[in-house]
Amino acid sequence: MNRFLSPRPLSRRELRGIDERAAKELNLPTLLLMENAGRGAAAWLADLAAPAVGGQVGGLPRILVLCGPGNNGGDGGVVARHLDAWGFPVRVVWFAARDRLSGDAASQHAILGASGIDQACWPEAHGEGEPSAAELDALVAGADWLVDGLLGTGLTRPVEGTLRRVVEAMNRSGKPAMALDLPSGLDADTGRPLGVAVRARATASFVAPKLGFGAEGASEYTGVVKVVDIGVPRRLLEGFLT
Ligand SMILES: NC(=O)C1=CN([C@@H]2O[C@H](COP(=O)(O)OP(=O)(O)OC[C@H]3O[C@@H](n4cnc5c(N)ncnc54)[C@H](O)[C@@H]3O)[C@@H](O)[C@H]2O)[C@H](O)CC1
Ligand SMILES: [K+]
């Protein structure tokens, strides 16, 4: 975490503009930004989930990382790899067909596979149809903490179908969840759910807080928010720094 400089709350457009500039103007690989994002979130989650427990795998809580089809899912893959390396029992479920994953998300899926980390793509494991509530309840019942890597700033429409069912199962379970970048389903600018949104215990917000986090009722979804800096140079944040 950057204890020195912190950007003001940013809009979805401002955030995605920073992502683009970092990649285009600075030739800063997005995989590198993703690694910083996932590692920062994993370090905070380790403190939240196992404040007193030391290294024995037996004493560490079970983590279920739920990934969507895009780079928010890719962040989830990075979180899983670091928590696994620290001894946490980790499972990763992608709610996207393997051939739908592309770019950095596909890279993270391949890295997890080569690392022998327990991961599955739901459609391949359970068929193309939408998961039942009972199947999803059984999935989340096997975890102590959930990581929400379903949707981030790429959210463009109300959450429907499979992802809606996953969000509802996460909320129904009452299990503590860490949202990556922002709770899936929450509109970054209004702070309101688009259909449905994850009710997180904590939100690891990359680069800056989102404009909508200050809206009435948004904290029901974000929980405690911490900004995780991901190595974007200060020049790209000029004009946004408080
Ligand atoms: N800030 C940075 O520099 C970095 C941010 N990172 C993470 O990347 C996500 C944004 O990733 P993106 O691939 O653009 O989108 P998402 O993963 O949020 O969404 C995936 C995909 O989902 C589709 N979609 C949109 N709305 C819905 C919906 N309602 N239901 C189903 N599917 C939906 C749409 O096609 C999206 O493309 C950002 O939040 C950070 O987590 C990276 O880590 C790199 C650095
Ligand atoms: K998310």
Say how many Å lie between the CA of residue 85 and the centre of ligand 1: 25
Q: Binding-site residues, please? A: 71-75, 148, 152-158, 181, 184
Tell me, yes or no, whether 191 lies in a domain: yes
30 within 8 A of 16, measured Cβ to Cβ: no
Please report the atom of ligand 1 found closest to the CA of residue 207: 1
CB hemisphere CA count around 67 (13 angstroms): 36
Does residue 56 register a pLDDT over 60? no
What is the distance between the alpha carbons of residues 75 and 189, in angstroms, rounded to a whole number?
A: 21
Q: Which helix (H) or strand (E) holds 38?
A: helix 30-49
Going by the DSSP 8-state scheme, the letter that residue 7 receives in this structure is B
CA angle 216/199/80 to nearest 5° reads 135
Q: State the total domains in the chain.
A: 1
What is the distance between the alpha carbons of residues 57 and 161, in angstroms, rounded to a whole number?
A: 35
Paired tokens of 184: 């899936």
Tell me, yes or no, whether 8 lies in a domain: no
Paired tokens of 142: 């096997």
Tell me, yes or no, whether 75 lies in a domain: yes
Question: How many other C-beta atoms are found inside a 10 Å radius of the C-beta of residue 37?
Answer: 28
Tell me, yes or no, whether 42 lies in a domain: yes
Say how many Å lie between the CA of residue 180 and the centre of ligand 2: 4
Domain CATH for 127: 3.40.50.10260
Tell me, yes or no, whether 5 lies in a domain: no
The neighbourhood of ligand 2, an ion, using CB within 5 A, equals 72, 148, 179-180, 184
Tell me, yes or no, whether 3 lies in a domain: no
41 within 8 A of 228, measured Cβ to Cβ: yes
Q: Report pTM.
A: 0.96
Task: Return phi, psi of residue 36, to 5°.
Answer: -65, -40
Please report the atom of ligand 1 found closest to the CA of residue 74: 43
* pLDDT tens for each residue of 57-102: 568 999 999 999 999 999 999 999 999 999 999 999 999 999 999 9
Position 127 confidence tier, pLDDT thresholds 50, 70, 90: confident
List the residue whose alpha carbon is closest to atom 21 of ligand 1: 70
* pLDDT tens for each residue of 183-232: 999 999 999 999 999 999 999 999 999 999 999 999 999 999 999 999 99
Residue 152 Cβ contacting ligand 1 at under 6 Å: yes
Tell me, yes or no, whether 7 lies in a domain: no
Q: Which domain holds residue 170?
A: 14-49+60-236
Residue 166 Cβ contacting ligand 1 at under 6 Å: no
Q: Residue 149 in 3-state DSSP? A: strand
Mean pLDDT across 121-143: 94
Q: Binding-site residues for K(+), please? A: 72, 148, 184
List the residue whose alpha carbon is closest to atom 28 of ligand 1: 159
Tell me, yes or no, whether 2 lies in a domain: no
What is the distance between the alpha carbons of residues 92 and 62, in angstroms, rounded to a whole number?
A: 11
List the residue whose alpha carbon is closest to atom 24 of ligand 1: 155
